[in-house]
Structure 1
Amino acid sequence: MSDLTAFPITSRWPAKNPDIIQLYSLPTPNGVKVSIALEELGLAYEAHRIDFGNNDQKSPEFLSLNPNGRIPAIIDPNGPDGKPIGLFESGAILVYLAEKTGKLIPTGAAARYETLCWVMFQMGGVGPMFGQFGHFFKFAADKVANNSYPMERYRDEAKRLLSVLESRLEGRQWLMGDDYTIADIATYPWIEGARKFYGGADVLEYARFPNVMAWVDRGLGRPAAQRGIEIPTRD
């Protein structure tokens, strides 16, 4: 049986089965990237809910695994050279899981790097811009009631990014064509999050992006996504 006592986070969220991947997350657009990937890959894992309402992400135990205090994070007891490894940042975790299994990422070098470009596009563009849009549109609307600039800035940048995706998906089923990859898993939960959680579909003019919306629905229709998008379960 694996010994995870070197990871202080396990003192607060003990592993029932320390021989499988430990996921510390919440069903947010960032969090479900990893649970969807784990479900797609068929990897055994145990999910631990990090409750933002209790500031779990700022606890010393969680910060011991991710100093940045953000979900998701994982511990893989069977990491490189058979040793446990802790990882944070959703993009890095997706790359790790794909390379660990040899799935959800092309084997050819050129296609692999192209896939990573689209993962980074999400990490550096879609996630931050959609997140800021949602903040000002839903959570801080009262604070910017007399200044429309913040919401408009992030709204317009989100729409620009949707235009990039719309063009990329013309004639393609997935971002890499016929192959479903971590680039898709990284990205479509954010588009769905802005629609479902932020209620921003009309403001972002989703109807103008039929390729994007069809792609989101294809992704969400996958059985692994339907399971992963609800993990960890909501209280």
Structure 2
Amino acid sequence: MILYSFRRCPYAMRARMALRYSGAAVEIREVSLKAKPADMLAASPKGTVPVLLLDDGRVIDESLDIMRWALARHDPDGWLQADAEAMATLLADNDGRFKQALNRYKYAERHPEHPMTHYRDQGCEFLQVLEGRLERGPWLCGDRMSLADVALAPFVRQFRGVDLAWFAQAPYPRVREWIEAFIESSLFTAIMAR
């Protein structure tokens, strides 16, 4: 199996983590987004990563679908056993409103209709939701890591990285602790190795 990926893409990160965690044997092909390989584009004309080519010729080109495929094969710690409704809500909010705010916060110069802090404040609405969930335990959906944690962490990591000094003093101590533990985890470290 082949996974077309881009190291810093949060969608690709979450796919790589689920594949690694599940033990799926895949060849990872790092893609230059400026020169996408023809074989990747033939498999998935939309031209975005990740793209997983299965041994049987099927193509999965959505990160959450790749994660679910991997976890259906092998989910030793029960990432899928968390509250399904809570996970679905978190995933929808992350991939919708939070991702939009994150993009505008990271690239505020492309969206001059509002100051950067406006977009940061929009993203903080989601961080406040995460902070509230983390008051109940160390993970977003309970006492153990779930699909939601792995799927959201790459995006929160990007949000954090826009202004590290601001994030370090922002009123989200549980989110800070959660994302720092995630960044330092062996799973994340392994999938980010060059």
- Superposed pair shares fold, TM > 0.5: yes
Distance (whole Å) between structure 1 residues aligned to residue 23 and residue 180 of structure 2? 22
Larger Rg: 1
* 1:45 alignment partner in structure 2: 26
Deviations 1:110-157 (A, max 9, x none): x23432332222222333321221122xxxx3x66xx46063432221
Q: How does 1:5-16 map to 2 (within 5 A)?
A: none
User: What corresponds to 2:4 in structure 1?
Assistant: 24
Q: CA deviation at 1:195?
A: 2.8
Instruction: Give the direction of change, closer, same or farther, for the CA distance of 1:132–1:69 in structure 2 (3 Å limit).
Output: farther
Specify the alignment match of 2:183 in structure 1.
220
Unmatched 5+ residue regions in structure 2?
none
- Mapped partners of 2:141, 2:149: distance in 1: 8
Match of 2:49 in 1: 71
Q: Is the 8 A contact 1:162 1:209 kept in 2?
A: yes
CA contact (8 A) 1:126 1:187 kept: no
Letter in 2 for 1:45: V
Contact (CA 8 Å) 1:130, 1:194: kept in 2 or not?
yes
1:15 maps to what in 2? none
Q: Which has the higher contact order (CA 8 A, sep 6+)?
A: 1
User: Which AA in structure 2 matches 1:228?
Assistant: I
Tell me which residue corresponds to 1:90. 63
Q: Percent identity?
A: 22
> Is the contact between residue 5 and residue 28 of structure 2 (CA under 8 Å) also seen in structure 1?
yes
Matched, 1:117 2:89: yes
Q: Which moved more, 1:202-211 or 1:175-184?
A: 202-211
Matched residues in 2 for 1:62 and 1:220: separation?
29
C-alpha distance after superposition, 1:161-200 (max 9, x if no partner): 111111111131111111211111111111222333x3x2
Partners of 1:60 and 1:195 lie apart in 2 by: 34
Distance 1:125 1:91 in 2: 17
How many correspondences in the alignment?
191
Gaps of at least 5 residues in structure 1 are: 1-20, 78-82
Counterpart in the other structure of 1:156: 121
Cα distance in 2 between the residues matched to 1:115 and 1:154: 24
Aligned counterpart, 1:80: none
- The structure that is helix-richer by fraction is 2
How big is the alpha-carbon RMSD for the aligned residues of Structure 1 and Structure 2? 2.3
Aligned 8 A contact 2:134 2:174 in 1: yes
CA distance in 2, matches of 1:195, 1:70: 24
String of CA shifts for 1:67-121, please: whole Å, max 9, x gaps: 32211111121xxxxx332111212221222223244211x7xx23432332222
What amino acid maps onto 1:187 in structure 2?
L
User: What's the counterpart of residue 149 of structure 2?
Assistant: 184
TM-score (norm 2): 0.85
- Name the TM-score, length of structure 1 as normaliser: 0.72
Q: d(CA) in 2 for partners of 1:69 and 1:208?
A: 38
Q: Name the structure 1 match of 2:35.
A: 55
